Amino acid sequence: GLQVFGTVTKSAVATGAELVAYGGFSVSNHLRQPPNSDMNIGTGDAYEMIWFKTSVGSSTEMLISYEGGANGTNDYGKPFNIRYENGSVRGWASHNSFSTHDDVNHGVSTADGKWHCAAWVKRGQVYELYVDGEFIGSDTGSVGSNALSDANSELVIGARKRGKAPGDSEEPFNGSLALARIGKSAPSAEQIKKIYEDEKVLFQENAKCTLYGSPDA
């Protein structure tokens, strides 16, 4: 499971809402899962999805990252990431530490202090970016049939891993994150749109999302 490195804050996504967001990220404060071979993407399908909120749009920050070279190196490994660049969501994938890469840039600032949802999908050899349930664009050709992730890849939320040493990170996100997920499948555009529409109500004031009680009925 995810481990807390440093101190990560938790707060309701809106006044009276039950859903919790995480924040206070820095190079030493983030959520992280150690390398896990069951998560390696290889040549198959994959996706990442995350909700984010920030008013800062003047730097390069990581929303969710799955990457990382060997400890003691400056290698990024074989990354599959959603990054925030000057207020714009951008998906990245590379099999050779960014010597070549596939990427899609939203190109529109979402640094407006409101909740937004980003999804990055690997569908075969095609990479697709979605923001707030809408298809933004795709890229293909650079990664091709090469495998993503390896024995050094780690999932980090709110920052990114680079080889260097265990626990090190960089590009922390200056904002709040919620409902992060990663999986080895490629949800359709229709599924991503439905997920966005279904989940956005959880970010309203007084929104409830918990089933209470002990019965399993």
Mean pLDDT, the chain cut into blocks of 10 residues (217 residues total) = 92 97 94 91 97 93 92 88 96 95 97 98 98 98 94 92 75 96 97 98 96 83
For the purposes of burial, counting CB atoms within 10 Å of the CB of 30, is it exposed (0-12), middle (13-18) or buried (19 or more)?
A: buried
CA dist., res. 70 & res. 81, Å (int): 18
- pTM confidence score: 0.94
- pLDDT score recorded for residue 166: 63
- Reported as type and span, the H/E element at residue 198 is helix 189-199
- Whose tokens are 């390696």? That residue is 40
- pLDDT score recorded for residue 203: 98
Nearest to 65 by CA among 85, 44, 48, 43: 48
- pLDDT score recorded for residue 49: 98
- DSSP, collapsed to helix, strand or coil, labels residue 144 as coil
Hey, what are 80's tokens? 């599959």
- pLDDT score recorded for residue 21: 98
CA dist., res. 167 & res. 172, Å (int): 13
- pLDDT score recorded for residue 165: 65
CA dist., res. 74 & res. 206, Å (int): 45
Output the DSSP codes for 78-116: S-EEEEEETTEEEEEE-SSTTSS-EEEE--S---SSS-E
Phi, psi (rounded to 5 degrees) for 189: -60, -40
CA dist., res. 56 & res. 203, Å (int): 20
- DSSP, collapsed to helix, strand or coil, labels residue 62 as strand
